[in-house]
A and B are shown apart, each in its own frame.
Chain A
Amino acid sequence: MGSIATEIGSVYGRVYLYLLVAALIPGLALAGLTGCGQGSSGGAEGKEGGETLTILAASSLTYGFGELAGTFEEQNEGVEVKQSFGASSDMLAQIQQGAPADVFASAAQEEMNTAVKDDLVAGKPEVFVKNREIVMVPKGNPAGIKEFRDVADHGVKLVLAQKDVPAADYAIEILGKANAEYGSTFKQDVLSNVVSREADVRASVNRVVVGDADATFGYASDYTPDIRNKVKIVPIPPELNIIATYPIAALEDAKYPGLAKKWVELVTSKEGQRVLEKWNFEPAA
């Protein structure tokens, strides 16, 4: 008996017990929820609507598209907009691996071009907004970055999104251009300050928001209201800056091609442009 008690008292026994309890409660709740969900969607199946438009978009579009999703759902009764945001490269990878989605909105032409080349896109992609890069520093500005060239100062803790994420690739491009202006070691100096490569832009911006990083490169659209009391913008001189163009397209394997087209129309419409401008994007035209 003693050995059984020790077995139960062993780490596995405890973990199982905890996991069981931990899994049981949300599990039961989930079972209840999905039960309800199935019931209601089952009922809506025959009716018009009950459709879900799935959008994969660059993480910089999180707020702008979030607001437009509300507008879209109002305009199309019974339609639910489901969005997933992440690095454009990541979203592209998901589409390439067959993730079920209707629309792809990328923060760079490159990802969209790949999608077109792989025959994943229906029709021609449209550029719907532009965005410019900025440098963001914590409000307290611990590294004392007053102008763009200060990001090369020794000891600045700089965070970038990881390689192939458009925001980071643009940053590298900008640094290359800046070499001509600030001296040939500028880019190298800045890159030697990088302490972390994050999964996407929002993650790298959040490093500045929590104050662990001294600076990051992001988009103007990442300077969202919720973080304005925590971060400051250091502008990049316009002659060095790069204007990111955002293409959008309905996908070849879209389950709801009609809705996908409608979404692209909304985003490029006057109203859509007005909403996106509100979130610091620049109109495409």
Chain B
Amino acid sequence: MKRRDKDGLSPRFPHGSDTLASGLAVAALALLVGFVSLPLLSLVVWTVDKGAWRAMASPVAVDALLLSVRTTAITMAMLLLVGTPAAYVLARADFRGSRVINALIDIPVVLPPSAAGIALLLAFGRLGLVGQYLNVFGVTLSFTTAAVVMAEVFVAAPFYIRQAATGFSAVDRTVEEAALVDGASRSTVFFKVTVPLAFPALVAGALTAWARALGEFGATVIFAGSFRGVTQTIPLAIFAEFQRDLDAAVALSVLVLGFAFTVILAVRHLTARTTGHRA
């Protein structure tokens, strides 16, 4: 794609402005790199400077990290399990109302998470539209870890489903059909042909969704509340600590930074062979 752009553009621009343009582009990149890395660097500098490391081992931090690991893992398991076939249907089936469903699935992306939290509360809270019936059966979701997972699924799902659907629709149908002709069952074709071909997109989508779930704050704090070990994930713990102990808030931020970095590197490393550069 890069080459195509260059080939398409260079004849129209004389050499001088071409140099200027690439200079500006490089400057833009440098600006962006600085803008992103400076705050991250500040986190680490503060942590080293104030010896905030200790706060990372505090019960609040440990509980929050474990809860974040647990809830995002469940969220991703549910997303992969439900989101993958759903994305396949979206990519393959051209049914009436598919546009509406497509738009609906994307809404959580543009909805502020706090608004999502209110919406979840009004639907699944104890007196909510659905919650009041669940309550009759003794199921209350508010203030439970399940509510945290629901909030994470709600906000993260579109990031996975959209990318997975795009990946699926890029899979050549004739390849699938050839496998079917060869006598493979539909589910075999899906797992042995379609999923491997769409794998890079699935991984990329899963990573984006996971990152979104890990950062989830607004919907969780409103729908699930905040309690250590039960609903207080890392972002909530950072917010709570910020009002009491800045060092602890900084330490938690560094902790989650390291955690996210590790996971992303690990996933990239593990999937590098199958996905090439895309993941």
Interface residues of A (CB under 8 A from B): 3-4, 6-7, 9-11, 14-15, 18-19, 22, 87, 89-90, 93, 142, 157, 159, 162-164, 194-199, 207, 210-213
Question: Does B225 lie within 8 Å of A163, measured CB to CB?
Answer: no
Determine the interface band of chain B, counting residues with CB < 8 A from chain A. 35 or more
B127 an interface residue at 8 Å Cβ cutoff? yes
Question: Does B243 lie within 8 Å of A210, measured CB to CB?
Answer: no
Question: What are 12 A-B residue pairs whose CB atoms fall within 8 Å in the complex?
Answer: A9-B166, A15-B110, A157-B140, A195-B143, A195-B225, A195-B230, A196-B143, A196-B227, A197-B226, A210-B122, A210-B125, A211-B125
Question: Does B110 lie within 8 Å of A22, measured CB to CB?
Answer: yes
Known pairs A196-B227, A196-B231, A211-B127; A11 contacts B110 (CB<8 A)? no
Q: Which of B11-19, B49-57, B157-165 contacts A (4 or more CB under 8 A)?
A: B157-165
User: Which residues of B have CB within 8 Å of A9?
Assistant: 166, 169
B264 an interface residue at 8 Å Cβ cutoff? no
User: Which residues of B have CB within 8 Å of A196?
Assistant: 143, 224-227, 231
Question: Does A207 lie within 8 Å of B225, measured CB to CB?
Answer: yes
Contact of A11 among B159, B225, B240 (CB under 8 A): B159
User: Which residues of A have CB within 8 Å of B208?
Assistant: 11
Shortest C-beta distance, B222 to chain A (Å), equals 9
Contact of B125 among A3, A159, A212 (CB under 8 A): A212
A19 CA to B231 CA, complexed, in Å: 29
* Given A11-B158, A199-B243, 11 new contacts (CB under 8 A): A6-B166, A11-B162, A11-B166, A157-B143, A162-B244, A195-B227, A196-B224, A197-B225, A199-B239, A210-B127, A212-B142
Known pairs A9-B166, A211-B127, A212-B125; A198 contacts B243 (CB<8 A)? no
User: Which residues of B have CB within 8 Å of A89?
Assistant: 243-244
For residue B245, which residue of chain A has the nearest CB? A164
User: Which residues of B have CB within 8 Å of A4?
Assistant: 1
Question: Does A93 lie within 8 Å of B121, measured CB to CB?
Answer: no
A22 CA to B107 CA, complexed, in Å: 11
A10 CA to B231 CA, complexed, in Å: 32
Contact of A18 among B109, B126, B140 (CB under 8 A): B109
User: Which residues of A have CB within 8 Å of B231?
Assistant: 196
For residue B125, which residue of chain A has the nearest CB? A212
Shortest C-beta distance, A24 to chain B (Å), equals 12
A78 CA to B140 CA, complexed, in Å: 51
Question: Does A212 lie within 8 Å of B126, measured CB to CB?
Answer: yes
A6 CA to B127 CA, complexed, in Å: 43
B176 an interface residue at 8 Å Cβ cutoff? no
Interface residues of B (CB under 8 A from A): 1, 106, 109-110, 121-122, 125-127, 140, 142-143, 158-159, 162-163, 166, 169-170, 205, 208, 221, 224-228, 230-232, 239-240, 242-244
Question: Does A164 lie within 8 Å of B244, measured CB to CB?
Answer: yes
A163 CA to B205 CA, complexed, in Å: 38
User: Which residues of B have CB within 8 Å of A18?
Assistant: 106, 109-110
A14 CA to B159 CA, complexed, in Å: 10
Question: Does B240 lie within 8 Å of A162, measured CB to CB?
Answer: yes
Question: Does B125 lie within 8 Å of A194, measured CB to CB?
Answer: no
For residue A204, which residue of chain B has the nearest CB? B225
Question: Does A10 lie within 8 Å of B163, measured CB to CB?
Answer: yes
User: Which residues of B have CB within 8 Å of A199?
Assistant: 221, 226, 239-240, 243
Quick one: which of B109, B169, B208, B228 has the most chain A CB within 10 A?
Answer: B109
Question: Does A15 lie within 8 Å of B170, measured CB to CB?
Answer: no
Question: Does B127 lie within 8 Å of A212, measured CB to CB?
Answer: yes
Known pairs A11-B205, A212-B127; A162 contacts B243 (CB<8 A)? yes
User: Which residues of A have CB within 8 Å of B106?
Assistant: 14-15, 18
Contact of B225 among A7, A19, A198, A211 (CB under 8 A): A198
Question: Does A90 lie within 8 Å of B243, measured CB to CB?
Answer: yes
User: Which residues of B have CB within 8 Å of A19?
Assistant: 110
User: Which residues of B have CB within 8 Å of A22?
Assistant: 110
Known pairs A6-B170, A162-B243, A210-B127; A194 contacts B227 (CB<8 A)? yes
For the complex of A and B, list the 6 residue pairs with the smallest distance between their C-beta atoms, beginning with the closest: A196-B225, A11-B162, A211-B127, A195-B143, A212-B142, A18-B110
User: Which residues of A have CB within 8 Å of B158?
Assistant: 11
For residue B135, which residue of chain A has the nearest CB? A142
Quick one: which of A9, A89, A194, A210 has the most chain B CB within 10 A?
Answer: A210
User: Which residues of B have CB within 8 Å of A211?
Assistant: 125-127
User: Which residues of B have CB within 8 Å of A162?
Assistant: 226, 240, 243-244
A138 CA to B89 CA, complexed, in Å: 44
A164 CA to B230 CA, complexed, in Å: 20
Shortest C-beta distance, A58 to chain B (Å), equals 13
For residue A4, which residue of chain B has the nearest CB? B1
Question: Does A93 lie within 8 Å of B109, measured CB to CB?
Answer: no
A87 CA to B106 CA, complexed, in Å: 35
Contact of B244 among A163, A198, A210 (CB under 8 A): A163
For residue B158, which residue of chain A has the nearest CB? A11
A3 CA to B110 CA, complexed, in Å: 25
For residue A157, which residue of chain B has the nearest CB? B143
Shortest C-beta distance, A22 to chain B (Å), equals 5
